[in-house]
């Protein structure tokens, strides 16, 4: 077996694990009931208008794709996880939004060079394990002069801290895989895109989350609905002491951020234009 085929098999296995993880629980509830406002915010920042061709990468259940389609844009929503696309189809149908749903890997997008006016991702592409490959694809499928728009959780914000808190309770990442919250570091994003984009606007912003009254409310919701958290609990399920320690770590994190039943979750909003060819 050649080195190239070994690498391809390893990548296939890694993506299968990612696909299975995001199919766990009920991510659509997270998107619809906790971070709903982010999708529309990204669409506004990208300046999407009727008739624009738009690609939503790692679209999940369509948190950004559906608002873009409701503006009259021609939207393709792609994701690695078919279960999320199925939920997105239903939600789009209910809201009367026309979206083309496609199963696709963010690191190997099945679209032509320069095919879209806007390429966006709302806390999605950041979870592709190989950041440079994903960034290269975002730029490749955007037309010269078109817009690349991203919302990513920051390393220092609540979700970035949650992944840090869960790190001792999950398997070590495979070689070459990078931490998702790095996409929330402006310098990292600048390095990924380089001089292939211009007019870069990267701003730290906060999402007000008032769904969880007590720390335990947050923990139980994410334990039931959010794929990475479910995967962490499954990994330590045979060790009651580690399960209790993970409970305590998430409760402590939420307690430090909750004030009068609300939290502020920091994210990085990035918009840029692809340089002319």
Kindly state whether residue 73 falls inside one of the protein's structural domains: yes
Per-residue pLDDT, 230: 98
Kindly state whether residue 3 falls inside one of the protein's structural domains: no
- Going along 137-196, which residue ranges are E strands? 142-153
What is the domain count for the chain? 1
Residue 29: which CATH number? 3.40.50.150
Per-residue pLDDT, 4: 59
Q: Count of H helices and E strands in the chain?
A: 11, 7
Kindly state whether residue 198 falls inside one of the protein's structural domains: yes
The rounded distance, in Å, linking the Cα atoms of 248 and 265 is: 20
Judged against a pLDDT cut of 60, whether residue 227 lies above it is answered with yes
217 C-beta neighbours (distance < 10 Å), count:
14
Per-residue pLDDT, 277: 66
Kindly state whether residue 156 falls inside one of the protein's structural domains: yes
Kindly state whether residue 1 falls inside one of the protein's structural domains: no
Q: Which domain holds residue 250?
A: 13-274
**26-41 pLDDT tens trace:** 999 999 999 999 999 9
Kindly state whether residue 63 falls inside one of the protein's structural domains: yes
Kindly state whether residue 4 falls inside one of the protein's structural domains: no
pTM exceeding the 0.85 threshold for the entire prediction: yes
Question: In terms of DSSP bridges, do strands 99-103 and 74-79 run parallel, antiparallel, or are they unpaired?
Answer: parallel
Kindly state whether residue 2 falls inside one of the protein's structural domains: no
**98-109 pLDDT tens trace:** 999 999 999 999
Q: Compute the average pLDDT of residues 35-50.
A: 97
140 C-beta neighbours (distance < 10 Å), count:
16
């Amino acid at each position: 077996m050649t080195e190239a085929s070994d690498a391809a098999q390893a990548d296939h296995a890694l993506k299968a694990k990612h696909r299975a993880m995001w199919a766990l629980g009920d991510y659509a509830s997270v998107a619809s009931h906790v971070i709903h406002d982010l999708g529309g915010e990204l669409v506004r920042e990208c300046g999407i208008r009727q008739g624009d061709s738009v690609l939503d990468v790692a679209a999940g259940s369509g948190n950004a794709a559906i608002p873009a389609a409701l503006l009259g844009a021609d939207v393709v929503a792609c994701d690695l996880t078919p279960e999320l696309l199925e939920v997105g189809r239903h939600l789009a149908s209910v809201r009367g939004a026309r979206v083309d749903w496609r199963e696709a890997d963010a690191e190997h997008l099945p679209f032509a060079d320069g095919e879209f006016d806007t390429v966006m991702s709302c806390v999605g592409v950041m979870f592709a394990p190989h950041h440079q490959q994903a960034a290269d694809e975002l730029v490749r499928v955007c037309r010269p002069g078109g817009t690349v728009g991203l919302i990513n959780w920051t390393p220092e914000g609540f979700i970035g801290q949650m992944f840090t808190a869960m790190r001792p309770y999950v398997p070590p990442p495979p070689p070459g895989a990078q931490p998702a919250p790095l996409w929330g570091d402006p310098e990292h994003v600048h390095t990924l895109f380089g001089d292939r984009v211009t007019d870069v606007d990267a701003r730290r912003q906060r999402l007000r989350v008032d769904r969880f009254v007590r720390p335990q409310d947050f923990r139980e919701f994410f334990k039931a609905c959010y794929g990475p958290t479910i995967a962490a609990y499954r990994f330590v399920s045979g060790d009651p002491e580690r399960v209790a320690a993970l409970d305590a770590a998430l409760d402590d994190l939420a307690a430090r951020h909750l004030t009068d039943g609300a939290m502020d979750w920091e994210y990085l909003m990035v918009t840029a234009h692809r340089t002319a060819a």
